[in-house]
């Protein structure tokens, strides 16, 4: 079983729509969680960290459910510029700073 | 500005040739990583280093080698033993090796192709 699993999509949504992605992780010892955005043929860029209490950054909201071992990303009022691949990343810790990446969920926002 | 610099941006390798990809960071990060990404695929870990003069194999280390003689630098050599080297190579770094809540930061990558 993969460490981190995501629905590859693509999610095709109109501008202004709300869209949500989920990601599951297999190891309950996982400590830190992140969402990255990757544009075509570019490097991944940190979108936001995910905290236990949930957190929001503008139109983006991240949630963590440790009991069910999943994290989510909600994008409100989608923009054309949100079109990208969104990567779920998990860090399992204690003297072992190794990151586990999902394969990504592709989002296409249409006019 | 602090960041991670990868060079070259594009690299071509001939059959039987070793090539070295450069990665330098001025973020004062302890940990550094090399990933490979094939078209339409996720990132796969090649090697990582938590501290100077120490490094560990990742999931696909065969055909690759690294060194970590300086904190700022983590070069990756793609050897002739790597039969399918064409890919997008990404270098990353993260803060203190035991700081689990610190994310990774990436360089802008090197595209390697076979001539």
Contact B105 A104 (CB under 8 A): no
pLDDT for A92 equals: 76
Closest-CA distance, B47 to chain A, in angstroms, reads 11
Contact A31 B100 (CB under 8 A): yes
pLDDT in tens, A72-91: 999 999 999 999 999 999 98
pLDDT for A29 equals: 81
Contact B42 A102 (CB under 8 A): yes
Average pLDDT over residues B40-64: 93
Query: Residue A58: pLDDT above 60?
Result: yes
pLDDT for A88 equals: 96
Token look-up 């070295």 returns B20
Q: Which of B45, B57, B47 is nearest to A101 (CA)?
A: B45
CA of B36: how far to CAs of A107, B6, B105, in Å? 22, 14, 15
Instruction: Name the DSSP letter for residue B53.
Output: T
pLDDT for A59 equals: 98
Query: Residue B100: pLDDT above 60?
Result: no
pLDDT for B95 equals: 82
| pLDDT, mean over chain B | 92
* Residue in B90, B98, B104 nearest the CB of A95: B98
B41: confidence class by pLDDT, cuts 50, 70, 90: confident
Average pLDDT over residues B83-94: 94
- CA-nearest residue of chain B to A51? B101
């Amino acid at each position: 079983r993969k460490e981190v699993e995501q629905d590859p999509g693509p999610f095709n949504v109109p501008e202004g729509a709300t869209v949500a992605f989920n990601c599951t992780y297999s190891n309950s010892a996982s400590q830190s969680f992140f969402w990255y955005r990757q544009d075509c043929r570019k490097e991944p860029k940190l979108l936001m960290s995910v905290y236990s209490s949930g957190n929001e950054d503008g139109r983006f909201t991240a949630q963590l459910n440790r009991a069910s071992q999943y994290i989510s990303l909600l994008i409100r009022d989608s923009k054309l510029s949100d079109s990208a691949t969104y990567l779920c990343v998990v860090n399992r810790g204690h003297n072992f700073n190794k990151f586990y990446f999902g394969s990504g969920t592709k989002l296409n926002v249409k006019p | 500005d602090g960041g991670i610099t990868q060079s070259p941006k594009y690299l071509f390798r001939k059959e039987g040739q070793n090539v070295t990809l450069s990665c330098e960071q001025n973020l004062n990060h302890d940990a550094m990583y090399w990933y490979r990404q094939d078209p339409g695929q996720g990132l796969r870990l090649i090697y990582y280093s938590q501290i100077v003069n120490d490094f560990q194999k990742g999931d696909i280390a065969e055909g690759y080698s690294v060194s970590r003689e300086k904190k700022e630098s983590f070069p990756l050599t793609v050897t002739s033993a790597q039969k399918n080297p064409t890919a997008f190579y990404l270098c990353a770094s993260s803060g203190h090796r035991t700081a689990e809540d610190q994310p990774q930061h990436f360089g802008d990558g090197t595209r390697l192709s076979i001539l």
